[in-house]
Amino acid sequence: MADDMIRKIRHFFYCVVWIGKDKLTKPFIGKPDIRSIEETYEKILKEHVSVSRFGDGEFKWMADLPQNTFQNPSPEMKERLIEISKSDLEHHIVCLSDTFGDLRQFNHYGREFWGCFMGMYRKKWMDFLKPGKVYYNTNMTRPYMDYVDKTPCANRFRMLKEIWRDRNVVLVEGDKSRLGVGNDLFDTASSVKRILAPATNAFDKYDKIWNRVCQLEKDTLILLALGPTATILAYDLAKEGFQAIDIGHVDVEYEWFRMSAASKVPLKNKYVNESLEGRNIGELKDEIYESQILDRI
């Protein structure tokens, strides 16, 4: 009990120091121009752009910071992420977490996490970005859990579903992700197929994933859920004329939204990286899901 209290006190002072530091230094370091979640959806819907998303995980890989993750460190992956973070490729947008400014839109956990994170790393992250560049919102796929105001969420998911309305969709996902299984997230699509990649260390198989995806028809909408591999793959596919969107944990967020979850709870038969109980899942026996699988890598 005493050790637990000491840890809590240390954590409190740790947060106070870093959050205070960020408040003092933020006016001098600055912040990037990041558009809203709704503006991000509108950009995708109007211009059919591809999307690469950056969060704290991608930043840590770029900055050689330690993390408990599902991807081994890779110098090549690091360099590619840095390249993409400053890129201006036509028909492609780069998204950042909208956490460089006012954090009052987030719940207690979000304010504490990002306040400390920015206190430690704001300057370093800004060094990876291109001055004057317009960035879009990484939370386009995470519009629910971390926000205080949940009232926009239904409309956000409605707009998200419009992106794949009447499109032939191929999900390139980790083999335990199971996006859309058991819910109506992709019901607006004309068809849904899947290419299953490794749940961990997907970048080690990048060439194999790339070669398989490039066999798809160019009018296919490719939705990627492979951590930093998806960030890079979306950019490379955009250069080849595909529309590819890094959608990350969108299915998990949608499930939490549907159940009005107040915390990041595990989900049946789906991999939830942010919940320890959600990382150990069993096999899925679902005929529709099996029929959608084009390939396993």
- Which sequence spans correspond to the domains of the chain? 2-296
For residue 115 the two structure tokens come to 């306040």
Strands 134-137 and 33-34: parallel
Residue 176: predicted pLDDT = 83
Tens of pLDDT along the chain (297 residues) come to: 566 766 766 766 678 788 888 888 999 999 999 999 999 999 999 999 999 999 999 999 999 987 766 778 789 999 999 999 999 999 999 999 999 999 999 999 999 999 999 999 999 999 999 999 999 999 999 999 999 999 999 999 999 999 999 999 999 999 888 899 989 999 999 999 999 999 889 999 999 999 999 999 999 999 999 999 999 999 999 999 999 999 988 999 999 999 999 888 888 766 565 544 444 565 667 789 999 999 999
Q: Which residues on neighbouring strands pair with residue 34, listed in sequence order?
A: 135
Concatenated DSSP letters for the chain?
-HHHHHHHHHHHHHHHHHHHHHHHHHHHH---EE--HHHHHHHHHHH--EEEE--HHHHHHHTT-----SS---HHHHHHHHHHHT---TTEEEEE-S-SS--TTB-HHHHHHHHHHHHHHHHHHHHTSPTT-EEEEGGGG--STTBS--TTHHHHHHHHHHHTTT-EEEEEEETTT-TTTTSSTTTTSSEEEEEEE-SS-GGGGHHHHHHHHTTS-TTPEEEEESTHHHHHHHHHHHHTT-EEEE-TTHHHHHHHHHTT-SS---BTTB--TTSGGGS-------HHHHHHEEEE-
From the list 233, 258, 259, the residue with the least C-alpha distance to 246 is 233
> Rounded distance, CA 154 to CA 160, Å?
10
Cα 198 to Cα 92: distance, rounded to the nearest angstrom: 25
Q: How far apart are CA 244 and CA 229, in angstroms?
A: 12
Would you state the pLDDT for residue 275? 47
The answer for residues whose C-beta is within 8 angstroms of residue 109's C-beta and 6 or more apart is 146
CA 113, 265, 144, 230 torsion: positive or negative?
positive
Q: What local confidence, expressed as pLDDT, does residue 175 receive?
A: 86
Work out the end-to-end distance of the chain between its first and last CA atoms, rounded to an integer number of angstroms. 47
